[in-house]
Structure 1
Amino acid sequence: MATYEVEAIATVIGGHIRVQDDYQGGVESVIRLNDAYPLETLQGIEGFSHLTVTWRFHLAKPEDVQLHARSPRGNPQWPATGTFVHRNHRRPNQLAVSYPRLLNVEGRDLLVTDLDAIDGTPVLDLAPYFQEMGPRGTVQQPAWPGEMLASYWRDASER
């Protein structure tokens, strides 16, 4: 099996301070680009409303990985589904992709909202979200993700 070494290009500053399943909305945080990258690597990003952010579940442990089918969030009302049907830290590489709204750019700091990573999270990659690179055609999914995530983007102040 091939392995790849990656280094974080940025870090999440502020925002969520603990891992939670729901109420991710309305929280502002900063994606701070590492000093190793020249400022011009962000040139033009302010013209975009959203980012594509790849990050690592840095608080997860290797033993958290579960390579078997299980019901999402342990809820037996939802069908047991395989490891690669879940979007959480129990997958082998413990990576996530999020699409926060970009609010402002100040030097190396990208002020965003609706980033579901926590303070201190390493960012492995970021790019502007291109609408043309999103899904093509009709998006289809079973009912359970909508049920499970009904409160995911509710405003964090409602906790």
Structure 2
Amino acid sequence: MEPIPMTPIAQVVGGRTEPTDDYWGGTQAIIRLDPDLFPLEATQGLEEFSHLEVVFFFHLTDQTDLNLGLRRARENPAWPEVGNLGHRNMRRRNWLGISRCKLIKVDGLDLHVEDLDAVDGTPILDVKPWFAEFGTRGKTHQPAWVTEMLGDYFAPSTTA
């Protein structure tokens, strides 16, 4: 397969400065779109949506720490070994993350968001409005360890 060149379209401004496993709830940041790539009209109508889906690059991850085989989430011995595609963390072949966050307001090319689990300086590759019709269709299921692991993921931060 041929490589796919990508250019970030925006950058996260503010919010967290360090990636952590939990307590992303209430984290506010700005997705600042590149004015060299977008006119102001690019965000027109976006304020009508409650949520965005954001594709970003895990720029702080040690890219030598890539294990495409089996491993336990958060190295927890109580959870099963799962292959790389059974995880959603930063150790991905292309170092891409996807997050659904609340859109608080649109201010020109600044998208004010909440619950985006990306840190200050994160390169943004794409932003899409969340369409409810693209959500889950049919019954869902997942292993119990995922529910246990993510119990505090979007809980409010425990630090002031």
TM-score (norm 2): 0.96
Letter in 2 for 1:32: R
TM-superposition CA deviations, 1:74-127 (whole Å, max 9, x none): 001100000011111111111111011001111110100000000000000001
Question: Taking every aligned residue pair, what percent have the same amino acid on both sides?
Answer: 47
The 2-side partners of 1:66 and 1:3 are apart by 21
Does residue 9 (structure 1) correspond to residue 20 (structure 2)? The answer is: no
Letter in 2 for 1:33: L
Moved more, 35-44 or 94-103: 35-44
Letter in 1 for 2:57: R
What runs of 5+ residues in structure 2 fail to find an aligned partner? none
Q: Which residue is 2:21 aligned to?
A: 21
Q: Which residue is 2:146 aligned to?
A: 145
**More strand, by proportion:** 2
Q: Displacement, 1:140?
A: 0.9
The 2-side partners of 1:135 and 1:6 are apart by 28
TM-score (norm 1): 0.97
The 2-side partners of 1:33 and 1:92 are apart by 25
Letter in 2 for 1:92: R
The 2-side partners of 1:33 and 1:144 are apart by 36
The 2-side partners of 1:35 and 1:64 are apart by 34
How many residue pairs match? The answer is 158
Q: Which residue is 1:136 aligned to?
A: 137
The 2-side partners of 1:108 and 1:57 are apart by 22
Q: Which residue is 2:109 aligned to?
A: 108
